[in-house]
Each structure stands twice: as structure tokens, then as C-alpha cells.
Amino acid sequence: MLYSIRMRSAQGGAHEHGGHHISGAERLITKQDLPQITENLIKRALNHEKGRADFIRLTIEEVKSKDIITIPMLKMETYTAMDVNDGHKNAREFLANAGISKIAIENAMIYLLSLQENMRGAILIDATTGKRLDDTGMRGIRVSRMDFKDTLQAKKHFDELGYTDNHVQEALVLASKVLSAPNVIGELCWSDDPNYIIGYVSANNAYHRITKMKPLHSNQGGRVFFVKTPVDINSLQNYLERQPVIVDINL
């Protein structure tokens, strides 16, 4: 049995009362690891570069082993961008190569670049028409209940490759789960953390890490998932939010 632990934090009150999203996290861990991880997540909310959270919500739930599915991790490839324009140009190409339409790619870019406020989740866009498919407004769909199969092994693996920052490890878990969802054919992401300018496109079974996706000190970031239609939005949302998924780096 594992435990799903989810954290979301905001400043200026709870998200649902107009607070600004500071940070969130989701893990799938053993009972033994719960106290340590809980402490880490609280510290993260209180010491974030976006500011100190004054609202923190922690949710801990049992997950039954029989409900968990195991998936492989996406292959990572890095594109070293000259500047943000070059990064975005290549992001568009990676998405187009997955069969995502021009209008869907442009709408996704425009959406992320015009956000006035950080969302805590992602938006779903129709990969053909470019229309938004979910109805979650400024909340977005928050992917949860996922983790590495063996966190220590994964950490060692990434440390050896020089990826010591946990942004990349957490993003790989999330992106692997998202692309494993039926009907999702791509993702576009960059962080809302002002000092973190690396982003990615996941598509065609690969995680294309792109080294410049926004200007330094910008707090604009977010996620778009591209969806092939027709689709049952409720079951897709259910998979993203509720299906427990373990990512095995050895598969």
C-alpha cells in the first residue's frame, strides 16, 4: 500500500478565496516516508522563491496496490536554445511533429503568454481545433497521484547525469503520466518560478527539454495538454487527477 500526498499553497488566502498560487506537489510514497516528505513539502511552501505561503493544504490518502499502474519514463532529450524565440520555435516544431495543428499550437502559446495569474493546474486544448476543452477556469486540471517507482534510484540516476534540481525529476514524472493518458498527444510547459527558465515539450514518447522558454525573472508559466478528439473529458480528467501511476526508470 502507498499513500498519495498532495500539497498546494497560496499567498493571500486559499486558492478558492483569491489567493495567489505559490507551489504544489504530489507524491506517492510509503507510510515510512510520510513524516519526512510532509515536512519537506511544508518547508517548500514556506520558503518558495515566489513568496511565503500563508495557506497550505495537505491531503494524505491511502492508495491500494491493486489500483496502481506502472509506466515507463519518457526519454529525455535536451535542446539548447539560443534565446526564448528559438526555444519557442523549436517547441512549436516538436508539437507539430506530433500531428498537433498550427492553430492549436498558437492558441496554447497565446494562452500561456497572456496569463495574468498563475494557475495551479493545466488546461486541455483540442489538438485539431485549438479550442479549450476543460471547464476548470483559472484553477486548471491538477495531475496527481504519481511518483517514481524508486525515488532513491531515480535521484541517483539524475544526480549522476548532473540534473540535481528537482524541477526536472518532478516534471519527468508528471509528463510521463500525462502522455500515458489516452488521447493526450503532447504537452507544452514552462515553470512559473521566476528563476527557472527551462521548459519542455513532451510528444512522440520523448521529453524535449528546452533550455530557454521564458525570460529570467518572469513569473509567467503554465501547462497545456493537447488532446485528440473525440474524447470523454470526464474520464480523461479522472485519469489525470486520480489514477495512481508509478514511473519505472528501468522500463
Binding region for ligand WAQ (CB under 6 A) = 24, 26, 118-122, 140-143, 167-168, 171, 174, 189, 191-193, 196, 198-200, 209, 221-223
Beta bridge partners of 3: 29, 62
Residue 167 site contact among ligand WAQ, Mg ion, none (CB < 5 to 8 Å, cut-off depends on kind): ligand WAQ
Residue whose CB is less far from ligand WAQ, 73 or 198: 198
Question: Measured from the CB of residue 142, what is the shortest distance to Mg ion in angstroms?
Answer: 12
Residue 143 site contact among Mg ion, ligand WAQ, none (CB < 5 to 8 Å, cut-off depends on kind): ligand WAQ
Residue whose CB is less far from Mg ion, 70 or 166: 166
Q: In angstroms, rounded to a whole number, what is the distance separating the alpha carbons of residues 83 and 90?
A: 11
Question: Measured from the CB of residue 40, what is the shortest distance to ligand WAQ in angstroms?
Answer: 15
Residue whose CB is less far from ligand WAQ, 7 or 127: 7
Site for Mg ion in 187-206 (CB under 5 A): 192-193
Residue 186 site contact among Mg ion, ligand WAQ, none (CB < 5 to 8 Å, cut-off depends on kind): none
**DSSP character for 142?**
-
Taking phi first (over 0 means left), then psi (-120 to 50 degrees means alpha), and beta for anything else, what does residue 204 get?
left
211 CB neighbour count, 10 Å cutoff: 15
Question: Measured from the CB of residue 17, what is the shortest distance to Mg ion in angstroms?
Answer: 20
Beta bridge partners of 139: none
Residue 173 site contact among Mg ion, ligand WAQ, none (CB < 5 to 8 Å, cut-off depends on kind): none
Span interacting with Mg ion, options 97-105, 186-194, 226-234, 239-247, rule CB under 5 A: 186-194
DSSP letters of 150-178? SHHHHHHHHHHHT--SHHHHHHHHHHHHH
Angle (CA) 76 80 86, round 5°: 120
Give me the count of residues in the chain.
251
- Say which residue the cell 499550437 belongs to: 105
Question: Measured from the CB of residue 48, what is the shortest distance to Mg ion in angstroms?
Answer: 8
Q: In angstroms, rounded to a whole number, what is the distance separating the alpha carbons of residues 124 and 228?
A: 10
Name the site residues for Mg ion (rule: CB under 5 A).
Answer: 192-193
